[in-house]
Amino acid sequence: MDKIRFGTMKDGRDASLFTLTNRNGMRVSVTDYGAAAVSLLVPDKTGGFLDVIRGFDDVSGYENTVTYMGATIGRHAGQIKNAAFELNGKTYNLAVNERDYNLHGGSEGFNSRLFAMESFTERELVLSYLSKDGESGFPGNLKVLVAYSLSDDNALGINFNGCCDQDTILSMTNHAYFNLNGPESASAMDHMLMIYAENYTEADYQGLPTGRIIPVSGTPYDFREFHVIGDRINEPHPELIFCKGYDHNWIISPECDRSAMRICCELKSPGSLIHMQVFSNQPGLQMYSGNYMDGADIGKCGVVYTARSSICLEPQVCPNGLHIPHFPSPVLKKGEEYIYRSMYRFLV
């Protein structure tokens, strides 16, 4: 394990970078700013290692980006329509930070917070954050734990726990951008993807889920077998046009059962031959093809991050569920424990 300084934040505080290593040499580095994954080196076909996620060289990149690069997302992943919700008869108004809705917890979500280190060993890092009552408009004093772990079968675990002193809203995810071809690859559109879902949630012209659950059969959203991501991304399907590509939620667990981990998706690179499997206990999976990355971010090794150069695979509760009664609820009751489990396993 290793801990180094990761630069100075705008407010003068120092950020840190923590690195975990397994016995095979696989490594993940995480910063306490936004509890963000910065790099993930996994074995490739040559016997070496490739960094398969996007990131920045120091904390300033994470402070200045609007892409949620590698970050822990909260209090609420995805969109909340009209940037408002009702809970226990009271209306809570949130910041509008995307079109006319609240996205990923607002402009000051967990991705922009400095987490505290709870514990750090060779194989596990646990970070914590106390989100105070009223922060970003959400109710209750909420403490969350973020645990990154590495196993010797080359699996990265990302787990979240939370507890609040009031009824509140909590729906978290990790926002890593993957490119299994390596850090200098300009596109992830050659990757092959399989999603274990029969249905996806329809999006409107703003990308907001409408509440309609649509069978994937016969649509560009059918990834029940491995399919090249870029093959159908430019089809004249209304939602692909509105979203400039994929930015949709698939229904992984129709019964909304969060008691056990299940496989969500698999991603393969034809170049590096790296094969990633994603497991979680969440009912949905958001796949985002990096449509709005416009080259403004210059990442590790001076690489410019452009549209569709990487993809996000985010296990989570379905976005906009606060406004759609038949979607899984993101409400966390006072004193109850929020439990989120995910795992990214790498094969070659």
| Active-site residue list | 175, 314
Nearest alpha-carbon partner for 314 in 254, 260, 265, 243:
265
Tokens of 41: 């080196």
d(CA 303, CA 55): 10
Tokens of 228: 């090249």
Which residue's entry shows tokens 């400095």? 114
d(CA 13, CA 33): 10
Burial call 291-327: b when 16+ CB within 10 Å, e when fewer: bebeeebebbeebebeebbbbbbbbbbbbbbbbbeeb
d(CA 310, CA 292): 11
By the 10 Å C-beta count (0-12 exposed, 13-18 middle, 19+ buried), 88 is classed as: exposed
The distance of Cα 209 from the centroid of its chain, to the nearest Å, equals 18
Handedness of CA 243, 244, 250, 256 (dihedral sign): negative
Nearest alpha-carbon partner for 142 in 102, 171, 104:
171
Nearest alpha-carbon partner for 73 in 326, 312, 332, 348:
312
Tokens of 222: 């059918």
Would residue 62 be called left, alpha or beta, if left means φ above 0 and alpha means ψ between -120 and 50 degrees?
A: alpha
